[in-house]
Amino acid sequence: MKLDTTGLEMAAPLWGSHSELVDGFSAAPSFELPITTDFDGFQKEAVQMVKPAKGTTTLAFIFKEGVMVAADSRASMGGYISSQSVKKIIEINPYMLGTMAGGAADCQFWHRNLGIKCRLHELANKRRISVTGASKLLANILYSYRGMGLSVGTMIAGWDETGPGLYYVDSEGGRLKGMRFSVGSGSPYAYGVLDNGYRYDMSVEEAAELARRAIYHATFRDGASGGVASVYYVGPNGWKKLSGDDVGELHYKYYPVMPSMVEQAMVEVAGA
């Protein structure tokens, strides 16, 4: 019996011909490569020149009721804030979410590509793809582009037949299954708050508040994170956006300005 090895084929044919853009999506899109003696040096220069937007805080955790996913919305290019309203939580399909950290274009493109592959899987197999399967598809693609300068640090969160699922996938080719992750320049701060307040049996409101606080604290201390803290919940019926709050306003909500107590009021003195 001949084994089906199509899944093992290289997703990115390095020197293959430039495929038609309107072609099928079964193979990963092939990319033109510059003809240069020093590919790495060229890529370093190109990255310096285009300076992809990065710097972020994203987090996700599994708890009793499902998966909670949260992220900030700032994109920075070097020291310049290029946008305060980037969508870092990408809706792959109605029951799966992906988070964006690293190169914005890389994350947007490959998450959309993953959504297409998931849909093709559904049509071919008459059932939804599992979170395990989806994360594996993405990880295999990123692994095949390993070393070429993609910058992707993403979490795939979803609810499938086995219950809630959460995987961390990055452009080095790593793929980890876990209960709690935070990715990005603000992640150390988010982990501090998240790890401290986490319990498996929280209600949806408590978990949402924990996620919101963790993002807020990360944006407070990390210059590359800010904007709007979005919180999504993934449950048995799919994902639902729970809140989107400006972190500046969250600050004054958590730490309201108290009018200071006046001990002795100054009295006007008439004349000298």
Partner 1 sequence: MPKQQANWSPYDNNGGSCVAIAGADYCVIAADTRMSTGYNILTRDYSKICKLADKCVMASSGFQADVKALQKHLAARHLIYQHQHNKQMSCPAMAQLLSNTLYYKRFFPYYSFNVLGGLDNEGKGCVFTYDAVGSYEKVGYSSQGSGSTLIMPFLDNQLKSPSPLLLPVQDAVTPLAEAEAVDLVKTVFASASERDIYTGDKLEIVVINADGIRREYMDLRKD
Binding segment for partner 1 among 2-10, 25-33, 56-64, 162-170 (CB under 8 A)? 25-33
Which residue in this structure is represented by tokens 């072609």?
23
**In the complex, minimum distance from the CB of residue 107 to partner 1, in angstroms, rounded to a whole number:** 8
Q: Is 271 in the site for partner 1 (CB under 8 A)?
A: no
Asked if 104 and 54 count as a contact pair (C-beta separation under 8 A), the reply is yes
- Tokens, residue 271: 């004349």
Measure the N-to-C terminal CA separation of the chain; round to a whole number of Å.
108
State the binding string over 117-156 for partner 1 (x if CB under 8 A, else -): -------------------------------xxx------
For residues 140 and 157, give the distance between their C-alpha atoms in angstroms, rounded to a whole number.
Answer: 17
Selected binder of partner 1 within 97, 190, 228, 250 (CB under 8 A): 228
Selected binder of partner 1 within 56, 57, 58, 73 (CB under 8 A): 73
**Could you tell me which residues are beta bridge partners of residue 188?**
none
**Could you tell me which residues are beta bridge partners of residue 167?**
156, 177
Concerning whether 56 is annotated as a catalytic residue, the answer is: yes
Looking at 39-186, list the stretches that DSSP marks H as alpha helix, in order from N- to C-terminal side: 39-50, 104-125, 131-144
Q: Is 106 in the site for partner 1 (CB under 8 A)?
A: yes
Residues that bind partner 1 (rule: CB under 8 A) add up to a total of 45
Of 82-101, binders to partner 1 (CB under 8 A) are: 82-87
Which residue in this structure is represented by tokens 């708050």?
193
For residues 117 and 100, give the distance between their C-alpha atoms in angstroms, rounded to a whole number.
Answer: 18
Selected binder of partner 1 within 25, 26, 46, 163 (CB under 8 A): 46
User: What does R_g of the chain's alpha carbons equal in angstroms?
Assistant: 23
Q: What is the DSSP letter of 152?
A: B
Q: Is 21 in the site for partner 1 (CB under 8 A)?
A: yes
Q: Is 241 in the site for partner 1 (CB under 8 A)?
A: yes
Residue in 267, 179, 255 with CA at minimum distance from that of residue 213? 255
Q: Amino acid letter at 222?
A: D
Q: Is 33 in the site for partner 1 (CB under 8 A)?
A: yes
**In the complex, minimum distance from the CB of residue 241 to partner 1, in angstroms, rounded to a whole number:** 6
Q: Is 196 in the site for partner 1 (CB under 8 A)?
A: no
Selected binder of partner 1 within 13, 109, 132, 185 (CB under 8 A): 109
Quick one: 103 or 158, whose CB is closer to partner 1? Answer: 103
Q: Of 5, 6, 37, 56, which residue is the catalytic one?
A: 56
**In the complex, minimum distance from the CB of residue 21 to partner 1, in angstroms, rounded to a whole number:** 7
Burial status of residue 113 (CB atoms within 10 A of its CB: 0-12, 13-18, 19 or more):
middle
Longest dimension (CA), the chain: 109
Q: Is 184 in the site for partner 1 (CB under 8 A)?
A: no
Asked if 34 and 49 count as a contact pair (C-beta separation under 8 A), the reply is no
Q: Give me the active site residues, please.
A: 56
The footprint of partner 1 (CB under 8 A) covers: 21, 29, 31-34, 36, 38, 41-43, 45-46, 49-50, 52-53, 73, 77, 80, 82-87, 103-109, 148-150, 227-228, 230, 241-246
